[in-house]
Each structure stands twice: as structure tokens, then as C-alpha cells.
Structure 1
């Protein structure tokens, strides 16, 4: 299947319910506004119909000197098909275009498949941190989700920006 990578747009958000619940989709609009301000990039990997099958962001202010990958998601039916790798490679290219040489991300400790992907792509663990965010509870109310994440880093030295 031919894939392209482009910026995510507000018009794409309704096509991304597979990436998270209602609160996540609302948060996408907030992040797209930040993209308009130039402090993040938010990418979409799209199939032939130009609909996103994977999305993810790069934050340039979260950790000065690095691009921080976050909210990475691949449509569940298409996981383990190399699409996550395409998304991460495109994000790393965006980081290099900003003249930064370090990519960072965090992965929940109970997500070994994602961590294995990141390690295969050259990311190395350097610590852990508690994290959390609002999620929609079973009754539709907002509840806080607590987790522990492994912090990972990759030096992009030796790669040239496109």
C-alpha cells in the first residue's frame, strides 16, 4: 500500500477515532493550534485515500535542544506493518530540519511492543518518570490516568536533514 507523510489538519481529526477517545481528539485540535504557532509538528501517515492511518507529534519546547515525539498512534488493524517506523523516521527528519540532533520520547512501562520498536530504531532508555493525563471514564466523566513511562533518547548525528 503506498503511503505518504504530511501535516495533520483539523479536517483529519474526525477520521482518527482509532487514535484515542473523545478527550484525545479534542486535544488534537489544541496541538494543531500549537503547530500553527510553530512549536510542534503534527504528522499524518496516509494511505491511498489520503486518510490518516498513523499520527504523531514532535514538540520542540518540551525539552530544549531536543524534539520530543509524543502521541504516536497507528491504526490498530495496521500495526506491525512498518507504518510506525515510517512515522518515526518522518518525525526525526522534521527534528533535523530544525537543526536539532536529539530525538526523545517516553513509553509506558506496560507497552513492551512500542518499546521494542523504539529500541529497534535506535532509542535507548535513560530514566523513568511518572506521567498522567485525563481520560474518559466508563460513565463519560473525566478521570485522571496515572502511569510510569520509560524515557528514551536517540542521537540523530550522522543523518542529514532532507
Structure 2
């Protein structure tokens, strides 16, 4: 799989990508995806991955460095894999990498014998929602979600937001 980026009038670069399981050794190179508190949570999710409760994927460059990551939780909704904690390196957004990650996640869900993918997207994130809609996800509801978030000052605060619930039949 490869992604082609186009600069504004600059050269076009095609980079081959691989999708594999995220590992604890990857976490130091994933600081772009969130705060230290977020990475601690990802480390806990990798323990769940070893137990088979979730899958946690990394989209990597040829040198093996993750440029996107995201999880699939199989225990949130019966009969579905729930995508969560999806992130793409900010400098590489809008290059198709999010689509590569989601396609790989959908294949993992199908591999578990499930035929539905679900996710929640913050209502104030229209760019992500537009991607999910382009990939065939439709809104079926909304719910309030919250989690601990670490600010730039290091303080931990409860983040509360409304999310659109989306799903896709695979």
C-alpha cells in the first residue's frame, strides 16, 4: 500500500506504507498522537490487545515508524468492532493515511467474523466526520462522552463532548 502526497506546486512523493500491530516499543515515537496521559492509556490498551480484547494498529513508513494509529474494541457493542483513538501524524493529514488505517481496521473486524464497524466522532470535528462519511459511515445517534485529558500545563481535566455515533456495514 502506498500514499502519494502532493505539495502546493512542489514534487509528488509516493511512500509505501505497512499496517501492523502497534507495540510498546512504538510508543516513544507516537508523542504526536496525544499527551503523556494519552500514551499511558494506549499502553494499557496494548495489554488488552495481548489478551485479544482489542486490536491496536499502526500505519508505518518503510523505516517502521508509525504515522497513524488506532484501536478496535470488540466489547463496546455486540456484533461490532468499535474504532477509537484514531490519529494521523498532523503533518501527513489529508494524504489518505486515515483511509488506509480504517480499511485495515475493517479487515480486522471482518477477520473476527463481525460485519459492522462503529465509531464516535466529536461533533466539533467536521473534518474527521467528512472522512468517515466518504468511507461509507452513517450517523445513527449521538451521545455524551468524557475522558481525562492532559493540558499543555500538565494538568489533568475531564473533557466532555457530544459525539455523533456512526456505523458501517462491512
> TM-score range, shorter-chain basis?
over 0.9
Structure 2 equivalent of residue 160 of structure 1: none
Q: TM-score by structure 1 length?
A: 0.95
Q: TM-score by structure 2 length?
A: 0.90
| Structure 2 unpaired stretches of 5+ | 1-14
Pair 1:69-2:83 in alignment? yes
Equivalent-residue separation in structure 2 for 1:93 and 1:138 (angstroms):
36
Question: 1:138 offset after TM fit, Å?
Answer: 4.2
Structure 2 equivalent of residue 90 of structure 1: 104
Aligned residues: 156
Equivalent-residue separation in structure 2 for 1:12 and 1:118 (angstroms):
26
Structure 2 equivalent of residue 59 of structure 1: 73
Equivalent-residue separation in structure 2 for 1:139 and 1:101 (angstroms):
42
Q: Which of structure 1's runs of 4+ aligned residues deviate more than 6 A? A: none
Pair 1:152-2:157 in alignment? no
Question: 1:89 offset after TM fit, Å?
Answer: 0.1
Structure 1 equivalent of residue 128 of structure 2: 114
Q: CA offsets per residue over residues 34-69 of structure 1, 9 Å max, x none?
A: 000101000000001100000000000011110000
RMSD: 0.7
User: Which structure shows the bigger proportion of residues in strand conformation?
Assistant: 2
